[in-house]
Amino acid sequence: MPDRLDHFGPELLLDVPARGTRRRAVEEALREAIRAGRLRPGTRLPSSRDLAAQLRLSRGTVAQAYEQLAAEGWLTGRSGSGTRVADGVPQPGADRTAADRAPAVRSRPGPRHDLRPGRPDARAFPRDAWGRATRWAIREAPADAFEDGDPRGRAELRGTLAAYLGRVRGVRVDAAQVIICSGYTQALGLLADTFGGLGMTGAGMENPSMPDHVTVVAARLRVADIGVDAGGMSVAGLAESGARVAVCTPAHQFPLGMSMSPERRSELVSWAQDSAGWIVEDDYDGEFRYDRRPVGALQSRLPARTVYVGSTSKSLGPAVRLGWIACPPPLLEPLTEAKRLARPCSTLEQLALARLIDSGDYDRHLRAVRRGYRQRRDLLAATVRSRLPRARVLGIEAGLHAILELPDGAPDEATVMRRLRAASVGVHPLGAYTRGPSGHAKEGPALVVGYGTPPAHRYEAAIGALAEELRGLLA
């Protein structure tokens, strides 16, 4: 009888009853596991040798049990693929009516012409470069990479990001002050917790802005809606609100699409200095400026009072759940503790991203997708000019979305959205991002159109379908 537990095939937890002979006990245990659905059709079982070692039985006992169950139709043996559960065996719930079964949960299909904002083209993901970086990370990762490690994240990525952000965004930060997180939403939650723990009660947030982000902050702090005009977030409104935290998107306001003016940047820096306030800078797509070189990060003006946050959600896509916080020294200790208690980030993904940046593949990827997104925005603007001459595309030439302002006399946003949904054209109404009185100058219907989501070969058709439906409405 084998007394070793080392084996090489799949493991199997099997409750072998003590009654009867050992062979019959193994047969009964396997039948019950199949009936209960623990072993589904096609499941590969351990070899007779491996299962015997796991159960501390003789190999002959297990082999005889397999032979009996195969004769009864419960198992099947194929040359080269081992012993498996046979197709067509009874499964739990097979004898219940449809009304008794839990309903299947199905994801809702997206629109045929998907122009919803906020997402990049998933097909542009740099598979080859990411594969090389991942293989390098697995091969070269030090042993401590597989331990819990520093809650701020891997030193390799923090150092790489400090250099990269200084080079491309003008961010002034030491690697020790960089904290790796799983994206902007987690970063915002960690910051709200930290500010609340430091005694702050309110945060001013741009109106309009992402509803999910407002929800995250509102769970910890009172949110003051701050209006946005052509210069960006209203600093006067921020001062009147009494909030000591300002959450803003200076490079490319979402969703209105303007860049914060130099004068407004100076006003915001002065507000933070005079009120001992904190600026949270969401640089969600600062690398995507098409008409000229990107404006540097606001953080470079006041590193001591500005928290800079970025992520890979637009540059690579949501599949890589990594973001970063450039943290002023006074917030570093409480923010690190908040991160220690939060969901950790994949160490191997951190090392892979560091390698992707250090190798130059990240810059090459950004140059490639930047050209593609610029062409898409140009096509959107040209289509609107030629087919919807009374409508306007608003916002700077940047990012992955634009505002499509409909002309006077157009139906309201609800009517427009019903028409577009019926034609399976996916966009968002501007009103979906506005809370109460908006504080911005845009009146009347407007749409937030994304140009990153459709694959390249379907983008022109999507823009054409949008223009055709709107032309019919405006006629």
> For the segment 283-315, what is each residue's pLDDT rounded down to a tens digit?
999 999 998 888 899 999 999 999 999 999 999
Q: Which CATH class for the 22-85 domain?
A: mainly alpha
Domain spans of the chain? 22-85, 126-359, 364-474
Distance in angstroms (rounded) separating the CA atoms of residues 210 and 474: 28
Query: How many residues are listed for the chain in this entry?
Result: 475
Q: So what's the pLDDT on residue 115?
A: 97
Spatial CB neighbours of 217, under 8 Å, sequence gap ≥ 6: 188, 192, 203, 205, 223, 247
CA 434, 436, 439, 443 torsion: positive or negative?
Answer: positive
Q: Can you tell me the distance from the alpha carbon of 325 to that of 153, in angstroms, rounded to the nearest whole number?
A: 11
Q: CB–CB of 422/281 below 8 Å?
A: no
Buried b or exposed e, range 149-176, using 16+ CB within 10 angstroms: eebbbbebbbbbbbebbeebbbbbbeee
The whole-angstrom separation of Cα 409 and Cα 272 is 43
By the 8 A CB rule, do 206 and 233 touch? yes
Q: Each residue of 19-51: pLDDT tens digit?
A: 778 999 999 999 999 998 899 998 999 999 999
Q: What is the pLDDT of residue 93?
A: 59
Please compute Rg for the chain using Cα positions: 29
Tokens for 285?
Answer: 């797509």
Interstrand relation of 306-311 and 278-282 (parallel, antiparallel or unpaired): parallel
E strands present in 270-349: 278-282, 306-311, 323-326
Q: Which helix (H) or strand (E) holds 113?
A: strand 113-114
pTM of the entire structure? 0.84
* In 376-465, beta strands by DSSP E: 392-394, 401-405, 425-426, 428-429, 446-450
Structure confidence at residue 92 (pLDDT) = 66
Label residue 257 by pLDDT band (50, 70, 90).
very high
Return the pLDDT at 1: 45
Q: What is the CATH number of domain 364-474?
A: 3.90.1150.10
Element (H, E) at 24: helix 22-35
Q: How far apart are CA 453 and CA 315, in angstroms?
A: 13
Question: What's the distance, Cα to Cα, between the start and end of the chain in Å?
Answer: 86
Read off the pLDDT of each residue in 366-374 and give the average, rounded to a whole number.
96
Q: How many CB atoms lie within 10 A of CB 33?
A: 19
Buried b or exposed e, range 321-348, using 16+ CB within 10 angstroms: bbbbbbbbeebbebbbebbeebeebbbb
Q: For residues 196 and 373, give the distance between their C-alpha atoms in angstroms, rounded to a whole number.
A: 39
Q: How far apart are alpha carbons 344 and 180 in whole angstroms?
A: 9
Q: Is the pLDDT of residue 148 over 70?
A: yes
* Category of 183 on φ-ψ map: left (φ > 0), alpha (ψ -120 to 50) or beta: left
Pick the CATH number of 126-359 from 3.90.280.10, 3.20.20.70, 3.40.640.10, 3.40.50.2300: 3.40.640.10
Q: Per the structure block, which two tokens stand in for 242?
A: 């009494």
**pLDDT exceeds cutoff 90 at 425:** yes
Does pLDDT of 141 surpass 80? yes
Please tell me what DSSP assigns to residue 17: -
